[in-house]
Amino acid sequence: MHPGPWDDGGDAPAFWPVFPIGFGLFWLALLGTVFYLIRRRTNDHARAQAKASDPLAKAQSLLAERFARGEIDEDEYLMRSSTLRNGT
C-alpha cells in the first residue's frame, strides 16, 4: 500500500487557504445578519415609540378614526384636520 502525500511529509493541497477564508466569511456573514436584524428591530421600535409619542399624529389618527366610524361628517373632519395642521 502506498502512503498518501500527507502521510509521507508531503505538502498540503494548493487550495487549502479556501477553507479558513470561507469559514471566516461564513462567520462574518452570520454575525452581520444578526447585527442587521437586531439593528432593524431596534430602529422600528424607536420609530414606533416616536410616532406614538407625537401628540399631533395621535390627534390626526383619532380624528380619522372618528370620521371612518361615521361619528363626524366630512365638513367637520376637514375643519378639524385643518385646525390641527395650522394650529389655529
Neighbour tally for 7: CB within 10 Å: 8
Q: What is the mean pLDDT of residues 64-73?
A: 94
* DSSP secondary structure letter of residue 5: T
Alpha-carbon torsion angle 46, 48, 49, 50, nearest 10: 80
pLDDT band for 7, please (50, 70, 90 cuts). Answer: low
pTM to 2 decimals? Answer: 0.42
Give the Cα separation of 22 and 30 in Å (integer).
12
Per-residue pLDDT of 49-67, as tens digits, reads: 766 677 888 889 899 999 9
Per-residue pLDDT of 11-35, as tens digits, reads: 667 777 888 999 999 999 999 999 9
pLDDT at residue 72, as a whole number: 93
Q: Which residue has the higher pLDDT, 8 or 74?
A: 74
